[in-house]
Structure 1
């Protein structure tokens, strides 16, 4: 299958191209450049105002369209993945939350089928080896110390499709878990932690030489304080050195605009992965939902744990899709479009070792066409529209 797209290219190796062309054949990009330089201008569509981006890649997503990966059956999980794909997330990790071992094994095995069918990029385990003190919207009863045997059991059930795991730097048997993750090609992601800066920095050093990320930086960890810098300082320092990629949930709920802008200015988009942390309510109206074993109430598009007295509970994931996050990052945080696109495409692709996330000859033709306000118009997966 062949195709030609024309518009403002954002995410090309040579930088933005005001009137550019992307051509693809059999699922691969075969030509990228300015329309004026195309060898067959008579074949080009008319110039227009649309933007052409690489397909977005979401490292952290719990569901959408009414279905959550920690709870749904295979049919529901496919609906959730399809919803995000229709909004431009051509690559998606299906994120689970801390749960009893039997549930994690069952859900990981179910999601493995979607990975093998090309619906998901892989499985992300957010827990259960995290710190209950910083559990956020996760069930503290399901959080346990690091257990390499359980990790191996889940990985086996998932048939090698686990691509990332969030764990606290202070969890038990961290070194053994890190070694097991490296053997299985699982990306370590530090988060939901109460560790100090020294402990966090030591874990980052232990993981040196291969990718490591921070799960939704700032959220699920103590705040940065000048006399108690905590994991935020260690992660920002590592990202500044190029040793870590930090996730940001830039949706207007989890982080202030100035915080997002500060991180981009401090470490740059090559060390940032914008993520949605979306849960079942993404793309849905306000109402009651679930995240794992816990009840969630969504009001004014903000998801929080339901409480007996009706008071606001912990933020329980996001209701934005990654394209919504990208749009907010540009409009509200003032991040340049090219930098924000890099953090939603090329950086997460690099972390996962994928041949996509950039408008480059030879890359897989996962492409997103939007209007000038970053509303989706067309989505291509491996060169096929709407797949």
Structure 2
């Protein structure tokens, strides 16, 4: 298939071109049918490394049906790959969620042929700070338990890609060493750590992420830089950003971009209300009210988001006037690099043909492709 006359973000820049797809990958030569995509923009499919749910379903539901609902919901918004993300819960609940997510990961594209691919698992908690639980159920926050985590490693296997932890908590140093040994990305989050504690943790990890930068951590202070200050100034840290207009003000996103021009990752932190009607939803036993684009606990605490990746891209483009190339780093390329997936997050011969076609002006999703196959679209390729 050749997609003609489409604005495309290549590694060297964005321009109008013809894009060739063959055998599930981008190709250097034309083959098969040609379709005209004038007025559309082609980007690498979005990769969301922090997503709890959508379409009324949650990772913690731990059923194939729920996980497929999440994958379908977010594919409709341009996401081609995601990390199913857990919440702080009991040992049994997390074990069940990890087992279900592992099965989805092992099945690859066959798990949900009409939805996003499960690229692994993000374990958010339970080894976080009791001072910074955010919307995580505080009664399940606990120190590192070597036996418990060993069980989860066995259950999740190589599907476990990222863990959010508080590096200042008891046993965190041991946990970080285990993660480094198993190739699991450590993400500092739901933490009250000082800058010195973060730097000491980095010496153990070598490199790390920061979970939803600025949220569930001390604010930036000019004499106590904390997690935020180190995240913005240390090249070893890749911060996650929730760009829904509620978790971060546009000015803060501009600040993060200035500090990390190519070193941040857009996430949704979406809960089950994403892509679903407004109403009251469950999140780890909490009642969460979704209204006016926000997900809130009864006390007003933000409880994840109802953001989609395409809306995050739309917001950032409006706030910062990013070019397409920069947006590719934020929405897919950096995530692919973090997950060691060299075939994703780029448009060049040999890379996986995971891509999204957007309206050039509104950025509405016209179609989502995974491995060169349409998984979401309101028309067929013949009408592109």
State the distance in 1 between where 2:37 and 2:290 align: 42
Aligned to 1:293: 285
1:199-226 deviations in Å (ceiling 9; x for gaps):
0111122212xx5211111011010011
Q: Does 1:250 align with 2:240?
A: no
Aligned to 2:309: 322
State the distance in 2 between where 1:177 and 1:41 align: 50
Instruction: Give the 5 Å matches for 1:85-234.
Output: 85-118=75-108, 119-208=117-206, 211-234=207-230
1:48-95 deviations in Å (ceiling 9; x for gaps):
110000000001000100111123522112111111112111010000
**Pairwise CA distance, 1:335:** 3.3
| Alpha-carbon RMSD | 1.8
**Pairwise CA distance, 1:103:** 0.7
1:292-322 deviations in Å (ceiling 9; x for gaps):
22211112121011x3xxxx42100010111
Q: Normalising to structure 1: TM-score of the pair?
A: 0.90
Q: Does 1:302 align with 2:289?
A: no
State the distance in 1 between where 2:30 and 2:101 align: 44
**Pairwise CA distance, 1:100:** 0.7
State the distance in 2 between where 1:219 and 1:199 align: 18
State the distance in 1 between where 2:18 and 2:188 align: 39
State the distance in 2 between where 1:332 and 1:13 align: 23
Q: Does 1:351 align with 2:344?
A: no
State the distance in 2 between where 1:377 and 1:79 align: 20
Cα distance change, pair 7–273 in 1 and its aligned pair in 2 (3 A): farther
State the distance in 2 between where 1:384 and 1:257 align: 35
Aligned to 1:55: 45
Cα distance change, pair 7–132 in 1 and its aligned pair in 2 (3 A): farther
Indicate which of 373, 376, 380 corresponds to 1:384.
Answer: 373
SS in 1 for 2:60: coil
SS in 1 for 2:223: coil
State the distance in 2 between where 1:145 and 1:179 align: 15
Cα distance change, pair 85–40 in 1 and its aligned pair in 2 (3 A): closer
Aligned to 1:34: none
Aligned to 1:284: 276
State the distance in 1 between where 2:291 and 2:32 align: 52
Answer yes or no: is the 8 Å Cα contact 1:217–1:246 preserved in 2.
yes
Q: Normalising to structure 2: TM-score of the pair?
A: 0.91
Aligned to 2:379: none
Aligned to 2:351: 363
Answer yes or no: is the 8 Å Cα contact 1:146–1:173 preserved in 2.
yes
State the distance in 1 between where 2:37 and 2:373 align: 22
Answer yes or no: is the 8 Å Cα contact 1:304–1:314 preserved in 2.
yes
Answer yes or no: is the 8 Å Cα contact 2:3–2:37 preserved in 1.
no
Aligned to 1:26: 23
State the distance in 2 between where 1:374 and 1:350 align: 25
Aligned length, in residue pairs = 366
Aligned to 1:313: 300
Indicate which of 255, 264, 268 corresponds to 1:262.
Answer: 255
Indicate which of 326, 331, 334 corresponds to 2:321.
Answer: 334
SS in 2 for 1:133: coil
1:22-54 deviations in Å (ceiling 9; x for gaps):
2111111112xxxxxxx7699754461100000
Aligned to 1:5: 3
SS in 2 for 1:157: helix
1:257-313 deviations in Å (ceiling 9; x for gaps):
0111111122112x10000000000011210001122211112121011x3xxxx42
Give the gaps of 5 or more residues in structure 2: 109-116, 377-384
